[in-house]
Chain A
């Protein structure tokens, strides 16, 4: 292979992880946002554990969703601006592979830390102890979905200047099923019901997203680059 450099899934995964590491301040901001807004809720609602407890699953999920949304905007932005996106598109490999690599890197830098930090938020918002494992499981799978679907919006809006707000409008309706089943998983765990059922649906959503989103993202990137 004469020109096949590190252009596949693992190549872009490694590259984006390295880039995130080099810009670690920027990479950590969704996490900090998550912690910050979780603090807003008791201030806005009430400090009483009794009033926070029923809201906790939903709040944690909404905050995780917002934090992921915030970080999705920059997914393709720098590649678009410095010309790497064009090189990605004209490479021989299927565009879906680099795309999947980038989105996986994004999840590793955003979704996974959110999942790992969520118990702290859970404690702060009086989440009942039965809810912790379902919460982490649902966040792990759900943030994967959120990264993938968010990347579709990011690809469509990458060439626009005030793309962030438009990105939210495009992507939040598509996020709604994820949050429904995500918080339902946590709630089922708290209520002592079978929380594997809604979790399985989250898993199915993730599988569908992994199969379909890269194609949509690749199509959108090609469209946006052909200007």
Chain B
């Protein structure tokens, strides 16, 4: 490899075993932080933040809806980047991360749509509104489902990974186009827009718990992604020595590890 630079740290990053062991050490902390932020954010937002002038208490769903939507979109990019790293540097671990990010992102997108519907009923009287944000979320869900379907469609896991990674990249290029197009389409047909998340006119007391929740969701995403990837690692590497040792240790009882 290159000009005397030591790339071993980079390639060590690609070792599933290293990932498993390192995350094992940090996992309890991550659990604690995530739970703390979630509890604080939810309690603050759902119980203590001031009521909205127009929407009353039903607007509180925003504390779930907005962070989840953020992560649903960010999650797609994370998945696509993991796929790209896997394609370029041929790292197995990267593909495992991508594989874990897909169902997580899809679930978050579904949750975003669901919370959007819950918000819609008291606010506009219907569960579904074809506004720009919701429609874009729906298309994002389809993009996720496509990546998921492609992963499991091939006999060879390697081919499935690479094909999903390619599709995720194609989707990445398209997401800005899709969002802009849907936005344009909506304003074309609905000049008086009632934006679902009009953040500008938000009172700071309403905004702070939202920030907490967004942070909490990022931690939650990281936590679940790591947990999923660890499971994926164990499954894929189940024939190797170190996984067998782990299983043996688990069988003989909770010895000191």
State the A residues within 8 Å of B (CB).
Answer: 152, 156-157, 159-160, 166, 169-170, 172-174, 176-177, 180-181, 184, 205, 212, 216, 219-220, 223-224, 226-227
- In the A-B complex, the 8 residue pairs with the smallest Cβ-Cβ separation, listed nearest first, are A177-B181, A173-B142, A170-B146, A180-B185, A180-B181, A173-B139, A169-B146, A173-B143
Chain B residues with Cβ below 8 Å from A223 are 159, 162-163, 166
Q: Which residue of B lies closest to A162 (CB)?
A: B153
Are B182 and A152 in touch, CB under 8 angstroms? no
Are B185 and A220 in touch, CB under 8 angstroms? no
Contact with A along B236-250 (1 / 0, CB 8 A): 000000000000000
- Indicate whether B177 reaches chain A with its CB closer than 8 angstroms: yes
- 12 other contacts beyond A152-B170, A160-B153, with CB at 8 A cut-off? A160-B154, A169-B149, A173-B142, A173-B178, A174-B170, A174-B174, A176-B182, A184-B188, A212-B173, A223-B162, A227-B156, A227-B159
- Bound Cα distance from A4 to B150, whole angstroms: 36
- Bound Cα distance from A180 to B188, whole angstroms: 10
- Bound Cα distance from A152 to B170, whole angstroms: 9
- Minimum distance in angstroms from B85 CB to a CB of chain A: 16
Are A157 and B188 in touch, CB under 8 angstroms? no
Chain A residues with Cβ below 8 Å from B139 are 173, 176
- Bound Cα distance from A169 to B177, whole angstroms: 18
Chain A residues with Cβ below 8 Å from B49 are none
The residue that A166 contacts in the complex, of B150, B173, B180, B185, with Cβ under 8 A, is: B150
The residue that A169 contacts in the complex, of B142, B162, B188, with Cβ under 8 A, is: B142
- Minimum distance in angstroms from A157 CB to a CB of chain B: 7
State the B residues within 8 Å of A (CB).
Answer: 139, 142-143, 145-146, 149-150, 153-154, 156, 159, 162-163, 166-167, 169-171, 173-174, 177-178, 180-182, 184-185, 188
Are B171 and A219 in touch, CB under 8 angstroms? no
Are A173 and B177 in touch, CB under 8 angstroms? no
- Bound Cα distance from A224 to B153, whole angstroms: 12
- Bound Cα distance from A61 to B35, whole angstroms: 49
- Minimum distance in angstroms from A148 CB to a CB of chain B: 11
The residue that A219 contacts in the complex, of B145, B166, B178, with Cβ under 8 A, is: B166
Are B181 and A156 in touch, CB under 8 angstroms? no
Are A184 and B185 in touch, CB under 8 angstroms? yes
Are B167 and A180 in touch, CB under 8 angstroms? no
- Bound Cα distance from A184 to B142, whole angstroms: 23
Are A180 and B182 in touch, CB under 8 angstroms? yes
Chain A residues with Cβ below 8 Å from B184 are 180
Chain A residues with Cβ below 8 Å from B162 are 223
Are B177 and A177 in touch, CB under 8 angstroms? yes
Chain B residues with Cβ below 8 Å from A169 are 142, 145-146, 149
The residue that B167 contacts in the complex, of A160, A170, A172, A224, with Cβ under 8 A, is: A170
Are A157 and B170 in touch, CB under 8 angstroms? no
- Bound Cα distance from A227 to B154, whole angstroms: 11
Are A220 and B153 in touch, CB under 8 angstroms? no
Q: Which residue of B lies closest to A181 (CB)?
A: B181
Are B142 and A172 in touch, CB under 8 angstroms? yes
- Minimum distance in angstroms from B158 CB to a CB of chain A: 9
Known A173-B142, A181-B181, A184-B185; judge A216-B150 contact (CB<8 A). no
Chain B residues with Cβ below 8 Å from A166 are 149-150, 153
Chain A residues with Cβ below 8 Å from B180 are 177
Q: Which residue of A lies closest to B143 (CB)?
A: A173
5 contacts between A and B (CB under 8 A): A166-B149, A169-B145, A174-B170, A177-B180, A180-B184
- Minimum distance in angstroms from B34 CB to a CB of chain A: 31
Chain B residues with Cβ below 8 Å from A216 are 166, 169-170
Known A166-B149, A177-B177, A180-B184; judge A156-B142 contact (CB<8 A). no
- Minimum distance in angstroms from A222 CB to a CB of chain B: 10
- Minimum distance in angstroms from A104 CB to a CB of chain B: 20
- Bound Cα distance from A212 to B146, whole angstroms: 20
- Minimum distance in angstroms from A142 CB to a CB of chain B: 13
Are B177 and A205 in touch, CB under 8 angstroms? yes
Chain B residues with Cβ below 8 Å from A180 are 181-182, 184-185
Q: Which residue of A lies closest to B174 (CB)?
A: A174
Q: Which residue of B lies closest to A171 (CB)?
A: B146
Chain B residues with Cβ below 8 Å from A205 are 177
In this complex, the member of B139, B149, B153, B170 whose beta carbon has the largest number of chain A beta carbons within 10 angstroms is B170
Q: Which residue of A lies closest to B184 (CB)?
A: A180
- Bound Cα distance from A220 to B154, whole angstroms: 13
